[in-house]
Amino acid sequence: MKFINEVDIKGKRVLCRFDFNIPLDDNLNIADDRRIRAAVPTINYALDEGAKVIIVSHLGRPKGKVVENLRLTPAARRLSRLIDKEVIVERDCIGEDITYLINTMKPKDIVFLENLRFHKEETANDDEFARKLAAYADVYVDDAFGNAHRSHASNVGITKYVRECCAGFLVKRELNFFTNALENPRRPLVAIIGGSKVSDKLEAIANLVKIADKIIVGGGMAFTFLKSLGLEVGSSLVEDDLIRKAQDVIKTVSQSGVRFYLPVDCVIAQKREKSAVTKNVPVQEMIPNWMGLDIGPASIRLFSEVLNDARTVVWNGPMGVFEIDAFSRGTYAVARMLADSHAMTIVGGGDTDVAIQRTGENDNISYISTGGGAFLELVEGKKLPAIEALNESERNQK
């Protein structure tokens, strides 16, 4: 597939799909604008080239209806401030007015269309909807990495109807880091997987067994593995239906020579609450009816040793319930280990990235992915539909 700098966009109508699915607070203030900042290089490039820039994105899950709190106006206003340029904001993303407006655009104008998901046809990858969006464009640019694991009209369907399709600089950066980390890594490659559910990440672990040198499993999901080894886990989060699969993973790992690490101790409490009384115990000394909510100090030491010689580290998912102070130490400690490491460090997944922001170490991580689900699907070894669609469109051009 091509990237935006390989396509002639001068004076052309360039439809850019971004992922401006940003967190908004109750007053509709943007809580975190990194996804908008990440789009700026592509927008600036298109403006410098004298393109007419049309922006589309989704926000939240309005399920095919207009939801006032999910309008993209805050994103458009922030973008306008970041690039110091007027942005024309539309109240819809489809309609004759919009077609007229786009046809009267001048080079370097920016039109920002309303939330694509106000139309149910977007997530249904409706052909007619894709065709209508495509009619706005001479060139289509996909820079919505966070949505690349979805097959929607604005990132998959549309590529059939715009002659010239390419990816933007954010997608380029995400794929480059990813390829360096998982396809051609400097070794040892250490993967750290945490978070709540084994079911969400089992495929990722199964794929990592084929490529990583060491795998660390922490967070709530570690307890399914610990239980599968016959340990008491109290009332910790466990997916009983996955115990057999967890055993299979441990077996495959030991046969493959990959080193596999689970927590050796944990912070436990009777409730998942701020006010709960906590204790540190070895995993062999779990108390019935207590639950493991963070990795303990011995696990932090162990994981730090494991990371010592790493040259590439990929991390997804917190080590504990880091949203509550008493259970946040393990996650923050891992964030600091990555920040201090000389390895190439790549972090993805919504929560992990929030944890890194909280430690203030974001500048010391080589790359923080903007895509939670898309990042995880790449770790699982899956192909991303939006990237496949760009590849397909390029093959059809030839």
Question: Out of 292, 296, 348, 385, which residue is the one contacting ligand AMP (CB under 6 A)?
Answer: 292
Annotated catalytic residue: which of 311, 373, 381, 382? 373
CB 346 → ligand AMP: shortest distance, Å? 16
Task: Considering the candidates 197, 272, 311, 382, report the single residue annotated as catalytic.
Answer: 197
Residue 317: active-site member = no
Q: Determine, following the binding rule CB under 6 A, whether residue 146 of this chain makes contact with ligand AMP.
A: no
74 is a contact residue toward ligand AMP (CB under 6 A) = no
State in angstroms the smallest separation of the CB of 144 from ligand AMP: 21
Two tokens, residue 39 = 């789009």
Residue 263 engages ligand AMP in binding (rule: CB under 6 A): no
Listed residue (398, 347, 395, 376) closest to 149, CA to CA: 376
Q: How far is 317 from 133, CA to CA, in rounded Å?
A: 36
- Is residue 297 reached through a cis peptide bond, with omega within 30 degrees of 0 on the bond before it? no
- Both tokens of 221, joined, read 């999901």
Contact region with ligand AMP (CB under 6 A), list: 10-18, 21-29, 146-154, 313-321:
313-321
Scan residues 195-254 and list those touching ligand AMP (CB under 6 A).
195-197, 200, 219-220, 237
CA distance 367 to 52: 31
Residue 194 appears among annotated catalytic residues: no
For residue 32, the SS3 value is: coil
Task: Please tell me which residue in 35, 52, 201, 227 is annotated as part of the active site.
Answer: 35
Helix axes 350-359, 329-340, angle to 10 degrees: 80
Site for ligand AMP in 331-350 (CB under 6 A): 349
How far is it, in rounded angstroms, from Cα 94 to Cα 319? 44
Q: Among 109, 150, 156, 149, which residue's Cα sits nearest to residue 133?
A: 156
Taking CB atoms, the residue at the shortest distance from ligand AMP is 195
| Per-residue contact flags (x/-) with ligand AMP for residues 162 to 201, judged by CB under 6 A | ---------------------------------xxx--x-
Neighbouring CB atoms inside 10 A of 2's CB total: 17
Q: Which two tokens stand for residue 150?
A: 């979805």
Residues that bind ligand AMP (CB under 6 A): 195-197, 200, 219-220, 237, 292-293, 317-318, 320-321, 323, 349, 351
Q: Which residues are catalytic?
A: 35, 197, 350, 373
